[in-house]
């Protein structure tokens, strides 16, 4: 993937189990944070 290239669409479940789809947020600023587990410093 190159800088400024459009990210491929994907679907994830949020912390409440609700599906979150990237294409539903096109044109907005999106920040994804992945961390190894609960109660760990980020």
Percent of the chain with pLDDT over 90: 33
pTM: 0.60
Task: Give the residue-averaged pLDDT of 7-23.
Answer: 91
How far is CA 28 from each of CA 21, 23, 31, 37, 40, rounded to the nearest angstrom?
Answer: 13, 10, 10, 27, 29
- Domain ranges, ordered by start, for the chain: 1-42
Task: Judge whether residue 42 has pLDDT over 70.
Answer: no
Task: Judge whether residue 29 has pLDDT over 80.
Answer: yes
Both tokens assigned to 18: 């609700």
Each as own residue / partner, the long-range contacts of residues 25-34 (CB below 8 Å, 24 or more positions apart, any chain) are: none
Task: Give the residue-averaged pLDDT of 18-41.
Answer: 84
Task: Judge whether residue 30 has pLDDT over 80.
Answer: yes
DSSP strand E in the chain: where?
11-13, 19-21
């Amino acid at each position: 993937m190159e800088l400024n290239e459009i990210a491929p669409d994907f679907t994830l479940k949020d912390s409440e189990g609700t599906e979150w789809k990237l294409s539903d947020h096109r044109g907005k600023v999106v920040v994804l944070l992945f961390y190894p587990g609960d109660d760990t410093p980020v």
